[in-house]
Amino acid sequence: MKKEKAAYKEGIVSIFVNVGLFFLKLWAGIVSGSIALTADAWHTLSDSISSIIVIIGAKLSSKKADTKHPFGHGRWEPISSIFIGVLLAIIAYDFMKESIIQFNAKESANFGLIAIIVTIVSIIVKEGLAQYAFYLARKTGNSTVRADGWHHRTDALSSVVVLVGIFLKDFFWWIDSVLGIIIALLIFYAVYEIVKEAINKLLGEEPPEELIEKFKEIISSVSKDDVFPHHFHLHHYVTHQELTFHIKLKDEHDIVSGHLIATNIEDKIYDELQIMTTIHIEPVSYKHRFD
């Protein structure tokens, strides 16, 4: 399944399910007077907004490379994930603020059977959506779909917290306010995970050690000469990856022979790992500022 198709499927299913859950939870929150349950409802609606971002991001990232964007448009995917993270952060801040205000006013919620039923339904449905999103993300490697899955997961966890609070309401008047704060903290954690992954993809980074060792194995298998690779950087463009590194060659190599060695290495890396590679060649006697 292609990344774009997976994002469309997950996004459309999420929008319809979340809008239905939003009205159900909002009604239960208004009836019970619970900030935690009402906040949970708006959290659910925000899932629909994030799913729209998923669909738009998938459409933009699927565009082919052009003269202005020679590396393609794949980075719209992590950018979309950051949009989702910002949206979640705004929602979490609002929940935190409202919960503190309610706590200071010493207000409590009046949970009933309706709130229990609606909360249990929400937990089951939202975790189901999360598992569906994670399944599509594993199949396609789509980070935006994975981010949306975390959005569903945090909503399911916040509903679990609300359910616990419902059963403790007779013992602690402040339970609804504290639950609102806990839900906000859960959402902030999801924001951290989503944004961290997206930023790591946008920034050039050193490949993990096991991948560097794989590159060195490929280099050794291609060249009979002594080749000293260093200064590895891996750039994620979502639809593909670009690798850059330096190699030191013996001083007697001319431009043609050095170019041939570098080209053979680049071709081999692409054949085995499907990573586009650019190699900077240096004479072994040269002292580079980054050595």
Count: domains in the chain: 2
| pLDDT tens-digit readout, 6-30 | 667 777 887 888 888 888 888 887 8
Please state the φ and ψ torsions of residue 205, each to the nearest 5 degrees: -140, 160
Residues 102 and 144 in one domain: yes
Residues 84 and 162 in one domain: yes
3-state per-residue secondary structure call for 202-261? HCCECCCHHHHHHHHHHHHHHCCCCCEEEEEEEEECCCCEEEEEEEEECCCCCHHHHHHH
For residue 36, give the nearest of 190, 189, 185, 192 by alpha carbon.
185
**What is the domain extent for residue 224?**
209-283
Task: Tell me the CATH number at 36.
Answer: 1.20.1510.10
Question: Does 289 fall in a domain?
Answer: no
Tell me the whole-structure pTM to 2 decimals: 0.55
Which of 171, 186, 202 terminates a domain? The answer is 202
Could you tell me if 130 and 149 are in contact, meaning their C-beta atoms sit under 8 angstroms apart? yes
Confidence of residue 61 (pLDDT cuts 50, 70, 90): low
Q: How far is CA 122 from the centre of its chain?
A: 23
Alpha-carbon Rg for the chain, nearest whole angstrom, is 25
- Looking at per-residue confidence, does 162 or 1 come out higher? 162
For the stretch 196-236, pLDDT in tens is: 877 776 765 667 778 788 888 888 888 766 788 888 877 76
In terms of domains, do 56 and 18 share one? Answer: yes
Residues 140/6, Cβ–Cβ less than 8 Å: yes
Among residues 168, 195, 171, 189, the alpha carbon closest in space to that of 36 is found at 168
